Amino acid sequence: MKTTIDFLKIDTKKYYFDEYAADKVVRFIETFCTHVKGKLAGSPYILQDWERDFVRNLFGWKIKSTGLRKFRESYLQIPRKNSKTTLSAGISLYMILADGEKGGEGFFGASSRDQARIAFEIISGMIRNNQTLSKHLQVYRNSIEFSQENSFFKVVSSEAGTSHGANLSFALVDEFHTHRNSELYDVFKTSMGAREQPLLLTISTAGSDKNSACFDLYDYSRKIIDGIIEDESFLPVIYEGIDSSDLDKVLSMENVKRANPSFGKSIREDYIIDQINKAKQMPSYLNTFKQLHLNIWVDSAESWISNSDWMANSIDYGEEDLIGQECWAGLDLANNRDLNAFILAFPQSNGKIKTLSYTFLPLEAAEKKDNISAGKAFLGWARQKNNHLYLTDKRSRDDDFIFEKIKELSQKFIIKKTAYDRWGADQLVSRIETELGLEFTSFGQGYKSMSPAIKKMESLVIENKLLHNNNPVLKWCLSNTKIVKDDAGNVKVSKERSKEKIDAIVALIMAVGQYQLDLAEEMANQSINKSPYDDRGFFFV
């Protein structure tokens, strides 16, 4: 659903629509700009209807008294895969060559060097694909010059610092929701005061931080659209789906089409169907789908596996049922007065995994309830032997007790490998390695390591393949767990955003993740070492 200002309500005594100026931008882009990537690479960039409407309104409305552009700033929010970067490149090239600004200075601001490089490759690719552009523009490492008008255009990232002292005639802020702060945007905006008709364009997808500068700009745009704020020089254009408690309505194809004006063109229906199915099957992906494909602002931290899904994996078993079996472990060591966890994952011949949970906490911490809201519930849980919650006598973490328990478990089970958080690594890990001979491997807590493990564990739960014996500490930690995601849909757990302790779940994620890594490595090695004659035999001629 597109929301913008009501152009019929523009005061025609003050403003007029210049058809020639509006068409000039369209003609420039469609004549000189090309697609750079994909199956359309090298072909003319023909604007879609929504793109044509956007650039015509942005450049066509003029001030009667001066003949200058009405809109000096614009915020365009649109879901991913709607050709944002290609449109941005086309507008940027127009502003360099055809806007008529002598000594023009333009900046394209990305959140990272990688994103800046992608944008620059598209812009420079358009130049290489067209003889006229190549003739007039000189492409350098991260800048483009139009020497005839003494103008230039640069692509910069917020990582590289800001550009104080610039005298900008044009600036484009790309994917503003991924910027760490508003510094680049603020510098761009304050660098335009000396120009007659500068243009600051911000193009972004919805984000996941409602305390960010990008959300403030989105909120400002909404208030202009709703008539709460009046800013005649600002053009807001927002495409977004409908959010609702009715999941079928949210994940309907109609809602996707409402938010994506490029549906059926740069966005394929089969791709969207796959994403909808994924959002239905994986709770952690729902907010990602809302953000990226429906353009709905979401909270950065979200609940993970539901209690009903978790309890569907509950069966009755104990230590005695797993004696002598191979397992992978996860060890999460917290500070001296917090919960510590050692979790075992036992792969079964039927493709399922059984778990055992062992947690440790100073007794005083449980009694005083000074760091765990569950408080005296831990006293009750510890009385049940099969819960394997150990309230130790020391006021701080009892490394000797934890060591002896892991030693005991290593004699009952075949612990293949133990994944652990590097942050908690200390003498205890070294002691276990040295004295018990167990193999430890550090497991990163960032998106790269955690995302595959979290997604695998989630899929196992949904498929009823991650079995547990209803350990109350493990279930409690799961109920506290919040996950956060990046813009590529990768996820990780957030101890900061989780309302209480999650150590046991973190340890389980690491155990499952390490097992999957080792399993993949084993399969890869088997594939490399396998002779083609193992199956086909020999043939002599």
pLDDT digits (tens, 9 = 90+) for 426-447: 789 999 999 999 999 999 999 9
CB atoms inside a 10 Å sphere around CB 397:
24
Count structural domains, the chain: 3
DSSP code for 321: G
Residue 122 is assigned to a structural domain of this protein: yes
Q: Is the pLDDT of residue 211 over 80?
A: no
Residue 194's domain is classified under what CATH number? 3.40.50.300
Q: Which residue carries 């989105």 as its tokens?
A: 218
pLDDT confidence tier of residue 164, bands split at 50, 70 and 90 = low
Comparing 179-183, 200-204, 314-318, the range with the smallest average pLDDT is 179-183
Give pTM, 2 decimals: 0.67
Q: What is the pLDDT of residue 161?
A: 56
Predicted pLDDT at 539: 46
Residues 6+ away with beta carbon under 8 Å from 205? 77, 78, 79, 80, 84, 175, 177, 291, 292, 295, 487
Answer whether residue 467 is part of any domain.
Answer: yes
| Predicted local confidence at residue 338, as pLDDT | 83
Which of 282, 300, 318 is a domain's end point? 300
Examine the pLDDT at 460 and tell me if it is beyond 60: yes
Cα distance from N-terminal residue to C-terminal residue, the chain: 69
Calculate the alpha carbon distances from 38 to 6, 41, 244, 274, 519 in Å: 36, 5, 35, 20, 35
Q: Single out the residue in 219, 237, 255 at which a domain terminates.
A: 237
CB neighbourhood size of 399 (10 A): 19
Tell me if 411 is assigned to some domain: yes
Residues 320 and 426 in one domain: yes
Answer yes or no: do 284 and 385 share one domain. no
Neighbours of 439 (CB within 10 A): 10
Decide if pLDDT at 203 tops 80: yes
Q: Which two tokens stand for residue 46?
A: 């023909």
Domain CATH number, residue 414 = 3.30.420.240
Confidence of residue 541 (pLDDT cuts 50, 70, 90): very low
Instruction: Please tell me whether residues 336 and 482 are part of one structural domain.
Output: yes
Point out the domain boundary residue: 182, 202, 237: 237
Residue-wise pLDDT tens digits, 265-280: 888 899 999 999 999 8
Amino acid at 479: S
**Is 541 a member of any domain?**
no
Q: What integer is the mean pLDDT of 115-121? A: 88
Residue 177 confidence (pLDDT) above 60: yes
Shared domain for 149 and 108, answered yes or no, is yes
pLDDT computed for residue 530 by the predictor: 62
Q: Residue 538 pLDDT > 50, yes or no?
A: no
Tokens of residue 109, six digits = 């601001």
Confidence of residue 281 (pLDDT cuts 50, 70, 90): confident
Residue with tokens 């909270």: 299
Residue 190 sits in the same domain as residue 267: no
pLDDT of residue 275: 93
List pLDDT tens digits, range 465-501. 999 999 989 988 888 888 888 878 889 998 777 767 8
Average pLDDT value over all residues in the chain: 89
Residue with tokens 């394997």: 388
For residue 250, is pLDDT > 90? yes
Residues 223, 75, single domain; the answer is: yes
Percent of the chain with pLDDT over 70: 93
Picking from 16, 10, 19, the residue whose alpha carbon sits closest to that of residue 64 is 16
In this prediction, residue 536 carries a pLDDT of: 54
- pLDDT at 537 > cutoff 60: no
pLDDT band at residue 160, thresholds of 50, 70 and 90? low
Question: Is residue 272 domain-shared with residue 370, that is, in the same domain?
Answer: no
Do 295 and 423 share a domain, yes or no?
A: no
Full domain range(s) for residue 473: 307-526
Question: 334-391 pLDDT, tens per residue?
Answer: 876 789 999 999 999 999 999 999 999 998 888 876 555 555 678 888 989 999 999 9
Q: In Å, how far are 90, 199, 465, 472, 481 from 314, measured between CA atoms?
A: 56, 59, 10, 11, 19
pLDDT at 100: 85
Please tell me the predicted confidence (pLDDT) of residue 180: 85
**Residue 12 placed within a domain:** no
Are 207 and 284 within one domain?
A: no
Q: Are residues 435 and 497 in the same domain?
A: yes
Contact present, 97 and 137 (Cβ < 8 Å):
yes
325 belongs to a structural domain: yes
Looking at the fold, whether 282 and 323 belong to one and the same domain comes out as no
Binning pLDDT at 50, 70 and 90, where does residue 531 land? low
Phi (first) and psi of residue 255, to 5 degrees: -70, -40
Tell me if 520 is assigned to some domain.
yes
pLDDT at residue 165 greater than cutoff 80: no
State the pLDDT confidence band at 123, using cuts at 50, 70 and 90: very high
DSSP 76-125: EE--TTS-HHHHHHHHHHHHHHTS--TT-EEEEEESSHHHHHHHHHHHHH
Specify if 17 maps to a domain.
Answer: no
Residues 387 and 513 in one domain: yes
